[in-house]
Every structure is written in structure tokens, then in C-alpha cells.
Structure 1
Amino acid sequence: MSDYTTARRVGIKRFKPGLKSGVAALSLCILTGFTALPTTAAAQTYVFNDVSIEGSQRIEAGTVLSYAGIARGQSISAGELNEAFQRLQASGLFESVELVPQGSTLVIKVVEYPTINLVAIEGNNRIKDDDLKPILKSQSRRVFNPSQAEEDANAIVQAYVQQGRIAARVQPRIIRRSDNRVDLIFEVFEGGVAEVERISFVGNQQYSDRRLRRVLGTKQAGLLRAFVTRDTFIEDRVQFDRQLLQDFYASRGYVDFRITGVNAELSQERDGYFVTFNVEEGQQFQFGQLTVTSDLDTVDPEVFEEAIATRSGKTYNPSAVDRDIARLERKALREGLDFIRVEPRVTRNDRDLTLDVEYVLTRGPRIFVERIDIEGNTTTLDRVVRRQFNTVEGDPFNPREIREAAERIRALGFFATADVEAREGSTPQQVIVDVDVEEAPTGSISFGGAYSTNQGFGLALSFSERNFLGRGQRLNLGLNTTQNNRQYFLNFLEPSLLGRDLAFGLNLNYKETDQDNARYNTTIGNFTPTLGFPISDNGRLQLRYSFGSTELTVPEDSTVGQIITAEATEERVLDSSVGYTFSYDTRRNGLDPDNGFLVSFSQDFGGLGGDTKFVKTTARAVAQRLAFSDEVTLRATFEAGALHYSQGQSRVTDRFFLGSSKLRGFETGGVGPREYNEANDVNDALGGNYYAVASLEAEFPLGLPEEYGVSGGIFYDVGNLWGLDETNGDVLYDEGSYRHVVGVSLFWTTPLGPLRFNFSEALKKEEFDRDQAFELTVSTSF
């Protein structure tokens, strides 16, 4: 900021005294104030019997004298007189200062800085006033100070720099008012966003630039740069990327990895950055021997060795060491041992590239948690935050437990920021844990409409809240309607019933269909409460009860086959069942970052009241592996299901159907048992009591710039659907037939979500199957 412009908004009158007026005033005062001094001023001394102050209106004379530091009758030199001038000028109270010796009287002439009438910011659209004004130190009713105004202007500029707008400029201006007041206006030119044009790496051998760019939070500017904010250059984000790279290599055994430098070069047009990470990967290490020793005579290390889950030969991962420490500490608590600390001692073997880990059990300091203080949670109840701690008041203090609790609080997604720190309590043997959070929005309302030639106009309205009433509960309710379909749903989840890791859910669903992809109408209602809890580190069990009502009707003007006609005569059927789902998922806590698998097994037993007795079983297994330096993702999936009725029989609303969600390349109801009679215009998809599907797929880069967010894939699916309780001569494929499908996929990451385009070809299908060569879906991870 080179100068200030003073203007009256009516009858514009401008002049520019300049920010350098302080220096100019100093020079002027020295020239004018000391013109009366003789040429031997350096050696001359003065004695002032009186001090006269001129120009002081708001500031008391005593204040001026205290800054000057000149006492009456005191002998002072010309240098001391100059120091008095400097003190007055540095006080920040005066626009100009002049010292004029007149015999035995010293005249101090001052021009006071005006007071600030108001502070305003103009020209800011990207950052609102409410976000900028708290960072300003210039405030209304305070003395105006040009230096402070300049610092405030720089603070505003830095706020824009944090958003990637390095070309932002801020010009402070003052408008003179009566009574020596001014309005301070900060005129903002926001400028454009400086995007990251290219991210490159130097020194990487094991992983390509493309793979490493996927690790970073900063992304390259691409086709959708207008909607993507992560391609904006922000220095703090680049610093965070350094830690992400460090964690990526450390989790893969590269313990010597380091970043030697990060260069960010601004383009010649000053609208983009070229960021280069200089790295040294080092060698990859595996786990060697893993042992447990103890410094305590009363502790037997052999008892604790069974708690170590990591095995020799696995790729070294610091997270695996942390998990072993947690298991050993929990083991110590179960053994009744307090204040046990586990210290990992790592021995490096450069010859065979292994790391031996010795877990040493020691006695930690006797420090207790005095209390846990939570602040900033204006909506969320204290207990929602407090239940993320495994530690309560009076428990032994464990720093690792506190760090893990902090991560769980942040993972809730309820808070914009969450800081957890420990400080000394009322005694050195006690600590107080402070939790400081800032609430974030957790609810959303969506409203939309659609039109299709098949379904006509449709309406979708939903409400979602992840922190219902501040209790950490989840609530989803909504409706979806089209010309032929109407669906209403309510889902509720209490993730911590009775303050324990016990998830209680309640699902209500009601759906009506009018000849949707078929020639019959359905009315289906379902009420399902659930209860889920962990049974191991990676295993979880869900118990449920389900009560459903199903009504199947055939309109008079509709033509259906004998199977559905017979099923429709039963009208309303009530089903009452209990069931469970066991899942084992290593994707969340797997020791090997390149591998993971999910296994789930479900059964529902009908007959607890209702009109039917049945057993419905489903199983699913998914395995994934990253190959070729993490460039290619390989995935294998297997699903199967069986439905058996001992009372009543299955209907088309109960049986399994295969479609694009399980067997790509076919419409829903496009494969499986079918009642077909061309003469009577009958072609009914009936579903099946049994199904089995296997899928192999690979995802890989296409060589396009990563900023496009486009990658490719190939897949092979094989599946079968068969089995009916009742059949007749018009029923086809009841015995089952395996369909084989191959295809290619195009993945596109967009602001609307990850889209997947599937182009498929059925290698083997039956005559009356309904295949589907193209499909657009929202891509999800397994």
C-alpha cells in the first residue's frame, strides 16, 4: 500500500499525504524544529523551564509529556531531544510531531490521528465480512493508525492467499468526517484463483507419478476446474501433502523415505503453479522377529505373546505396531495390571531388510485422568463426544488412548474442527483432558423432480440428519413418486445404545408399484428393527426382526401367466421373521494396505407368526488386491442365495432377481425362470429361489491426465438364477443356465459423484433373456 486517498463522498476532493508521511514528518520536524539550534548543536544542552503543547485535543497534556519524557528544569542534549521526538512519533497517537525550542520554553506541536468512525470492506464476494472483520485490529472508536491499517490490509490479502487467490490486492482508504473522525474502507480486488497446473515427482522409482498424485489432497486442474476446489494452490495443503506421502510410503515398509524438498513455481501468467516433490524412497522392509519382554518381575511375557496379531514376513507398517500395542495394553487390563506401558524397540537388519520389533512391558507413571472438559459443542450433547473415550474420570492416563479418542471424534463428521489436549490437573499426578470443537452442518434437505417416457413425472423429497437432536443419531426420511411407483421410507440409527458399542436401527418402508416393468401391481410394507455389535476387531454381528406385508394384484386389463395369477389369489401375505448377518471386514483395519477382503453371511427365519415359514440365506465374499505398483486394482466377487419355504410358497415378490446390480449386461428380471406364451402374450419374469454370481474385474489408468478423473476397467461376470416352487409347461429356464458376460468400463470422477459407464456383451444367454448393452451407474467401492 503506497498511499491513502482521503475523499468526501459528496463533492470529491482528493489529496495524498502518503503512508510515508511519518518519515516525511520526521524529516520536516528535524529541519523546522531544530533550525534555531546553532551549528554546535551536537554539543549544546538545553534547560526548559516550561513546556507548551499545541494541537492536542483528545489526548491529555500529561500523556504527551509522559511520552516525551522531558522534565522541567532538566538539562538535556540535542540527541535526547531527538529521542523525545522519536518516542512521540512511535506512540502511534499523532499524525505529525514537531518540537520547537523557544528560549526556555519547549513547544510541542502535534496533529492527532483521527478516531475511526466505522470500518467497512468493499469488493469482497468470495469471503464475507463476517469472516474478514474478526482478523482486523483496526476497530471503530479506536485511534486510526496507518501502520495498523496496512497490517490489516495484509491480513485480508493472506486470507485470500489461503484460498489460492495470490493476485488479491487490498487498498485501505479513509474518508474524512467531522470532529476529527474517519471512515476506514478496505477496497478489495479479489483476483483469480491460482490453480495447480502440474504435480510431478523426482526420485520415485517404485511408484509412478500417477499413483503418488492419487495420494495427495492437492489435485491438478482439469476439465471440471470450475467445480473442483482441491486444484487450488494452498500452501498449507501442500504441507499436509508431505505428511500424506510420508504415511503412504511408511505403510508400505519404506522406513527411510524422506522428502528432500518441495518446489512450487509460479507460471509466467501468474495464474498457476507447477509443484514438484523431491523424494528419496529407500528400501522396503518386512517384519522380522516379534517378541515380548518385560521389565517387571511379576509379569510373564509369554502370556502376552498371543496378543500380537502381526506376523513375520509381512510388509512393515507402523500402524500394525500401534495396533499390537493397543492389544497388549488391553491384555494387561484384563490381567488386572494398571499403568502398564508398552514400548516398541525396533532393531534394523540391513542385510535381509527386516525390522525386529521387541515389545517391552514397563511400569508407566501413576497419572490419573482428573476430568474431561468439552467446549464448543453448542448442538451436540456432551455424552456423544464423551463416549468416544475409552477412558473416564479416575482411570489411569494413557496418551495413546487420548490420541485415538481424538481421531474418533474427528471421524464423527459432526465438527469442523476438533482439538484434544491434555494438561496438568490439580496435582502433578492428575491430568485434565480438554476437548475444543466447532460444530459443522450435519443435515440436508433434497428436493427434485424427473421425467421419463416410461414413468412420467416423478418427485423426490428427502430429509437426512447425521446428528439428530445433537444425540449422534441418524435419521433419513423421504418419498419418491412417479406415475407408476410410490415409495416412502424412514430409517433411524442409534449408534451407541445405552452408551455402549451397540447400534440400534429402525427401518420402515412402504412401496406401491403399478405395472412397473411387469403386468401386476404390488403393495409392500416392511418394519425392521436391528441390533448390531462387534464380536472381534474386524467382525460384527447384526440381529434383526422383520415384519412385512405383501399384496399382489393383477389388473383386469392385464395379461399374466398362470404362475403369477395363482400367486395373486393369495392377496395379502404377512411375513414375520428373525435373522442375523455376520460380517468380517479387513478393509478398515487390514495390516496389508495392498489387500483387503469382506465376507458376510446372512440368514432370516420366517415363522414367528405370520402366514409363512421359510429360511432365506445369502452369502457374499469380496477380495481386492492392488498390483503393478498400485496402478491396477484387481477384484473378485462371489454372491449366492437360497430361499426355502416349509409353509406356504415363494411368490414373485419374495424370490431373487438378477440384474445390473449383480449380473451386469442384463436388465433387472432379464434372466432366470420365465413364463412365456406367445399366443397369449405372456412373458413374465418370475425370479428364482436360488442364485449364484461370480465376477472378476480390473481397474487401470488409461494414460489420460489425472485431472480428467477418467480411468478404465474390464470385467467378466457369470451367473445363474433358478428354482420355483410351482411350475408348468410354459415355464422356461427353471433348471437354470449360466450366463456369461464380458465388458469394459469407463470411470469418471465428477463433482456429482463417481460415475461408471458399462459397455457389455453377453457371451452366453438364453433366447428370451433381456440383455442390456449399456448402463450408467454411480460407482461405489466394495
Structure 2
Amino acid sequence: FFMTFTVEEGERYRVKDIAVNSSLRHFDASVLNEQITFESGDWYDAEEVTKSIDAMTNALGDLQFAFVNVRPDVKRNRDEQTIDITFVISETSRAFVELIDVRGNVRTLDKVIRREIELVESDPFNRSKLAKSEQNIKNLGYFETVTVTPLQGSAPDKTILDVEVAEQSTGELSIGAGFSTTEGPLADVSLRERNLLGKGQDLLLSGTVAGKRTEFNLAFTEPYFLDRDFSAGFDLFHMTRDFQDESSFNQRRTGGGLRFGYPLSEKWRQVLRYRLDRTEITDVSSSASAFIAGQEGDRITSSVSQRLTYDDRNSIQFPTEGLLSWLDTEFAGIGGDTDYVSGKFGSSYYYPVAEKWIFNLLGEVGGITSTGDDDIVRINDRYFLGGATLRGFESAGIGPRDLVSSDALGGNLFYRATAEMTFPLGLPEEMGIKGHGFTDIGSLWDADDSSGPGIRDENSLRGAAGIGVSWRSPLGPIRVDLSAPYLEEDYDRTEVFRFNFGTRF
């Protein structure tokens, strides 16, 4: 048989008056006005009302009001076709966490799971913290499924949190292949265990061989050093880079480092690092710039650095909303024979303009200065812009340049910005194909001594605009960009087509 549902759309109503009425003692309800996601004069939208209720409930939880109920009281005026909405806040019966029961973790230690739960026994029960705890456990990536269910405890005011997980493999052996405009063909192999011995420790051994780069890394991270929310780890690396096309030299780096990270709050995090490495500038071309020829040889760098980040994005891998900001500073000169101070600040903001239309605005500035006697920043420590950092231009395509040798000299000061819109192409979402429209602007300058013959060093603005298509294919992410500069200098190296493809098996 067939069932037919006939839906008749009624008249649309606009929101007229909005109010918040609270029965909570010693509480000013006006502080919740900023949690309301709509305004007087907007069309009534039940989904926005629900979002406002969730935002108010979370805000009240942050203000230590754990036992509250937010209910919308809607009054309709048919003559004016308007709606008055009053959010009524009242207290509910109190409940406390009696027990947290973790089940299904055959390999992972209990404490690895429990430290991600934002509630402990005897805490007031809080649903927003419950949902956040479940997401924290999922973010570990150790489990196939995670379910956190509140159950009735031994008394009406007591709740048991039932945490059920299903283990999944956390060891990864991957072999990769790909191609990029910058590095040419590439292949990599990595062996990684993200939950070493069930303790949540991360061990990585990787190697990459590309047309212009070879790199080997060993990294270890303990996310909860001394059973505190304090990460600690070390890195060992060896890499070679071919900069012949850009600056007529090759580079070899070997070294290691220590790192420590800790949260300042839910969204702020600080990472401290120490790095010691040996850098060699080799195979300098006989036609290279005199500045680069003078850089040939090896030097030791001993540095300390820090990174301060703010992150409220809704996803780390595929963000659609939120802000990521970072502040990097580094001081080199604790021993070794390299001396400089550098700093970078940047932000990347994501905003959903419409369903599946995501706008991203990124900006970054940076500078480096020598603190040594020679007052010169080495070529391998300078900034370079172009390629992935400034589309429409080749890698190291802008900035100070020796016109005689055509070598890019790098710069000590830079800024860049990107505005990009990601949008659907009308294809099924499961295909993972998206379109992009973007514009990149930036500048790079200050090559220390730029007074030599044939040296061009200008801080003029460069810019390019373009379109692109990305595909999350079964073989790995693929992206193609077409761009054209609209602001450039005559000595810049431009690039119209950019292609990146990579895969892991």
C-alpha cells in the first residue's frame, strides 16, 4: 500500500521580542543574551532556537550552574505574524557522578581513557562535559567505537557513567607515493605506533625520498608526562634538500631536539623546544651569487623556541568553523656558531558562509635578525615565499634576488595573506570533490646587504588569484590550482599551474 503525506506550508513569522527569564538565585540573566543566535526581526527558525538553548546550557555549566533546564516559551501573534520568545531558566534536581565504569579496553590502560574524561567521581553531573569527554576519547584514535552512557546509580541523585570502547589497531605501516610541483616525484615509508604498550605514547620512524628532498625522522611523544597534562618528546632527523633551481646550492641537516607542551586553558597551548643541528651548504654552483658562495661550509645551530597556539576550530583535519592562531619565537646562540632571534605570528579563520560553503582567511607576518658579530642571517635561516605559501609564484619566486645569477637570496621580513572560498561542485558529497577560489598576497624583503651590483630587494606587494579543484580520492588527496599574478615585479618567477598528489597504502 501507499501512504501519501500532504504538507501545507503556513505563513512565515518574524521574531519580535526576545527575553530571558531566570529563577536562579543571585544570577543576572542578561549575561546570556550574547548566547542567543538570532535577533529581533529575523525569520523564526526552530533550529536557531535549539542552538541558543544549547549555548545557554553550556554557558550556565561554565558558570557552575550544573542543574538547570532552559525551555523556550513561544507566543504567536497571528495578526502581526510575529513571535515573542522567552527563554525560561529553572533549576532541576541535582545529580552527582557516583562511578565511572570503563569497559572494552583490552590493551589500553584505564588511566589513558580516564584522563580524557572531564568528570570524576563525586562531581556534579554535567551533560556538556559528558559530550566533551566522549569526543576527547574519540579524538585519541585508539578505538573503533566509543559510547559514554549515563545510568541510574544507587540513589536517585547518583549517576554512573558507563564508558564502553572497542579497541582498534593503532600500529601503522604505510608506503606512500606522489608528485608535487615543488618536489617532483616522491615516495615515503613510515612505521608508527600511536598507542605504544597501551600507554598512549606515540613512536614514529619515517623516511621520504623525493626528486629534490630526502628526509629521515625518529620521533617519540609521551602525551601525559609524569601523569600530568604535560607532553614531552624528542626528535632525531637527517635531511637533504636540492635548492639548485632556486639558489644554486644543496643543503644537508642532521640533528635532534627536545619538546615540552602544556595547556594554558582549554583552547590555549604552549610548546617549548630545544634544537641542536649541523647544517652544511654544499655543491654551490660556480655561477652562484657571491652572497651564497660565501655561505658554503657547515655550522652548528643550538636554539630554544616556543609556540603559543589558540585553537577553537570544530575539527583539526577538516575545519569548517573556528579560529587557529599561533605565535612562534626562537633564539639561536646557546652555543654553536649561529646567532639570531626570529618571530612569527599568524591566524587562520574559518567561517561557514552557507551550507558546504566555507570561507577561510589566513594571515601571517614574520621577521628574523642576526645577533652575531657579522650581522648577517644565514641563507638556510632566512624566509622564502612562493609555491604553497604564495600561489601564482614558484617556490622562492619572490623576494630579494641576484639578477646576475638569478638566485633567490631569501629575506628577513615577510607578510602574507590568503582569502579562499571552498564550495561544492554539485557532485555527490561522498565523492569528496570540492572547488576553490582564492587570492594570495604577500611580500618578502631585507636581505641584509643588498647594495651589491645586480641585487634587487624591494618590499612591494605581490598578489595572485586563481581557482582550484581538490579530490579526496581513494589513492590520496589530489589538488590542482590554476592562478595568475596581478601584482608582481619583473624579476619574480611566476607559476600558473600547481599540482599535488600523495597517497599512502
* Change in 2 beyond 3 A, CA 1:643/1:262: farther
Distance in 1 (CA, whole Å) between partners of 2:296 and 2:371 is 20
Tell me if the contact between 2:443 and 2:459 (Cα under 8 Å) persists in the aligned partners. Answer: yes
8 A contact 1:676–1:731 mirrored in 2: yes
Match of 2:54 among 317, 322, 330: 322
Change (3 A) 1:746 1:458: closer
Q: Secondary structure of 1:653's match?
A: helix
431 and 597 in structure 1: CA distance in 2 versus 1, 3 angstrom threshold? closer
Q: Shift of the alpha carbon at 1:658?
A: 0.9
SS of residue paired to 2:392: coil
Shift of 1:371: 2.8
Q: Give CA deviations for 1:165-217 in whole Å, capped at 9, x if unaligned.
A: xxxxxxxxxxxxxxxxxxxxxxxxxxxxxxxxxxxxxxxxxxxxxxxxxxxxx
Q: What is the identity percentage for the equivalent residue pairs of Structure 1 and Structure 2?
A: 30
Q: For residue 426 of structure 1, report the CA deviation from its aligned partner.
A: 5.0
**C-alpha distance in 2, partners of 1:477/1:683?**
38
What is the aligned counterpart of 2:123 among 386, 395, 412? 395
Equivalent of 1:344, from 64, 70, 87? 70
Alignment partner, residue 700 of structure 1: 423
Q: Is 1:441 equivalent to 2:169 in the alignment?
A: yes
Which residue, 444, 450, 453 being the options, matches 1:721?
Answer: 444
1:738 paired to 2:461 = yes
Contact 1:287–1:312, Cα closer than 8 Å, also in 2: no
1:331 maps to 63
Secondary structure of the residue aligned to 1:567 is coil
Matched-pair contact (CA < 8 Å) for 2:249–2:284: no
Alpha-carbon distance between aligned partners in 2 of 1:701 and 1:524, rounded to the nearest angstrom: 42
Is contact 1:694-1:718 (8 Å) kept? yes
Tell me the SS of whatever aligns to 1:325: helix
Does residue 475 in structure 1 map to residue 242 in structure 2?
Answer: no
Query: Which residue number in structure 2 is paired with residue 663 of structure 1?
Result: 390
From 750, 754, 768, the equivalent of 2:491 is 768
Match of 1:566 among 280, 294, 298: 294
Q: Is the 8 A contact 2:423 2:434 kept in 1?
A: yes
Aligned with 2:343 (options 617, 621, 624): 617
TM-aligned CA distance change 1:585 to 1:610, over 3 Å? farther
1:383 Cα shift? Answer: 0.8
Task: Work out whether residues 292 and 361 of structure 1, in 8 Å CA contact, stay in contact via their aligned partners in 2.
Answer: no
Distance 2:300 2:9 in 1: 67
Quick one: distance in 2 between partners of 1:702 and 1:436?
39
CA contact (8 A) 1:286 1:313 kept: no
Please state how far the C-alpha of 1:287 moved relative to its aligned partner. 9.8
The 2-side partners of 1:609 and 1:286 are apart by: 68
CA distance in 2, matches of 1:778, 1:435: 40
Letter in 2 for 1:341: F
Higher percent of residues as helix: 1
Separation in 2, partners of 1:556, 1:637? 36
Cα 1:325/1:707, change in 2 over 3 Å: closer
In structure 1, which of residues 622, 628, 635 is the aligned counterpart of residue 360 of structure 2? 635
Counterpart for residue 24 of structure 1? none
8 Å Cα contact 2:105-2:165 kept in structure 1: yes
2:190 is aligned with 1:465: no
Q: Which amino acid aligns with 1:527?
A: G
In the other structure, the counterpart of 2:42 is none
Residue by residue over 1:558-593, the C-alpha shift from the partner in whole angstroms, topping out at 9 and shown as x without a partner, is: 432211122225x2132312323232535469xxx9
8 A contact 1:722–1:733 mirrored in 2: no
Q: Is the 8 A contact 1:289 1:312 kept in 2?
A: no
Alpha-carbon distance, 1:358 to partner: 3.4
Q: Secondary structure at the match of 1:470?
A: coil
Judge conservation of contact 1:477–1:490 (CA < 8 Å) in 2. yes
Do the aligned partners of residues 692 and 457 (structure 1) sit closer, same or farther apart at CA in structure 2, a change above 3 Å counting?
closer
Q: What SS does the aligned partner of 1:384 have?
A: helix
Query: Which residue of the other structure, out of 491, 500, 505, is the alignment partner of 1:777?
Result: 500
Q: How far apart, in 2, do the equivalents of 1:313 and 1:667 lie?
A: 46
The one-letter code sitting in structure 2 at the alignment partner of 1:637 is L
* Cα distance between partner residues in 1 of 2:3 and 2:197: 45
**Offset at 1:737?**
2.8
Using a 3 Å threshold, how does the CA distance of structure 1 residues 525 and 283 change in structure 2: closer, same or farther?
Answer: farther
Match of 2:19 in 1: 289
Query: Which position in structure 2 is the counterpart of 1:582?
Result: 309
The residue type paired with residue 633 of structure 1 is: I
- Superposition CA RMSD, Å: 3.9
Q: 1:624 to 1:369 in 2, by over 3 A?
A: closer
Cα gap change, 1:748/1:329 in structure 2, threshold over 3 Å: closer, same or farther? closer
Q: Distance in 2 between matches of 1:287 and 1:500?
A: 48
Is the 2:186–2:209 contact (alpha carbons within 8 Å) kept by the matching residues of 1?
yes
1:661 deviates by 1.5
For residues 250 and 168 of structure 2, the distance between their equivalents in structure 1, rounded to whole angstroms, comes to 44
Measure the CA separation in 2 of the matches of 1:313 and 1:449. Answer: 48
CA contact (8 A) 1:758 1:775 kept: yes
Q: 1:596 to 1:731 in 2, by over 3 A?
A: farther
How far apart in 1 are the matches of 2:173 and 2:433? 30
Residues 1:331 and 1:603: Cα distance change in structure 2 (over 3 Å): same
Q: TM-score when scaled to structure 1?
A: 0.55
After TM superposition, the structure 1 = structure 2 runs for residues 301-450 of structure 1, keeping only pairs within 5 Å, are: 301-302=27-28, 306=31, 310-311=35-36, 313=38, 316=48, 318-319=50-51, 321-332=53-64, 340-350=66-76, 352-353=82-83, 355-362=85-92, 364-365=93-94, 367-398=95-126, 401-425=129-153, 430-448=158-176
CA–CA distance in structure 1, aligned partners of residues 309 and 90 of structure 2: 36
Residue 447 to residue 644, structure 1, CA distance change in 2 (3 Å): same
Pair 397,668 (structure 1): closer, same or farther in 2 beyond 3 Å: same
Tell me what 1:751 maps to.
474
SS in 1 for 2:292: helix
Measured after TM superposition, the shift of residue 420 of structure 1 is: 2.8
Q: 1:451-480 deviations in whole A, cap 9, x for unaligned?
A: 999989865210123323222233322011
Shift of residue 382, structure 1, vs aligned partner? 0.6
Tell me the equivalent position of 1:604: 330
Question: Any unmatched runs of 5+ in structure 2?
Answer: 40-44
Normalized against structure 2, the TM-score is what?
0.81
Tell me how far 1:341 sits from its aligned partner: 0.8
**Offset, 1:685:** 1.2
CA displacement at 1:557 relative to structure 2: 6.3
Q: Over residues 268-290 of structure 1, what are the superposed CA-to-partner deviations in whole Å (9 max), with x where a residue is unaligned?
A: xxxxxxxx9x9989878799334
Give the aligned length. Answer: 483
* 2:86 counterpart letter in structure 1: D
Kindly indicate whether the alpha-carbon contact (under 8 Å) linking 1:448 and 1:460 is maintained by their aligned counterparts in 2.
Answer: yes
- List per-residue Cα deviations over 1:625-645 (Å, max 9, x = no partner): 333x43643333222211122
Contact 1:485–1:514 (CA under 8 A) maintained in structure 2 = yes
Runs of 5+ unmatched residues, structure 1: 1-260, 264-275, 334-339
CA distance in 2, matches of 1:778, 1:290: 53
